Amino acid sequence: MLQGLAFLLVFQCIGEGISYVLHLPIPGPVVGMLLLLCAVVMQPKTADVIEPTALELIRHLSLLFVPAGVGIMVSAGRVRGQALALIVSIVISTTLTIVVSALVTRALLARRS
């Protein structure tokens, strides 16, 4: 499990470095995740190394939201005047997520049968 965690952290650090050096508007962990996806596609055995660690992280995913929740509570005063924009963006992004998920599920089910 330590090897898988180290693997994930290395890709996150590489992503952070690339995002910082190239001044990308994309967060470093997202860049790292894209690089990890490329690594898994190019060498599928990589998935075997990170799978146990990833499954364990997913089991405890709710704990990973605690810092984000605290950040929201701390920043509540700053976003008070932006309530309408927040509500609109949450509704639109949730709707898009549901639509895209439904389309992907439909395409995968059609492909399977």
Q: Taking a C-beta distance cutoff of 8 angstroms, is the pair 24, 18 a contact?
A: yes
Whether pLDDT at 47 is above 80 = yes
Token code pair at residue 108: 């995968």
Rounded-to-integer distance, Cα 96 and Cα 79, Å: 23
Mean pLDDT, residues 71-89:
83
| 81-to-52, 85, 87 alpha-carbon distances in Å | 44, 9, 12
Residue 80 DSSP code: G
Rounded-to-integer distance, Cα 105 and Cα 83, Å: 33
- Confidence category of residue 31, pLDDT binned at 50, 70, 90: very high
Q: What is the CA radius of gyration of the chain?
A: 18
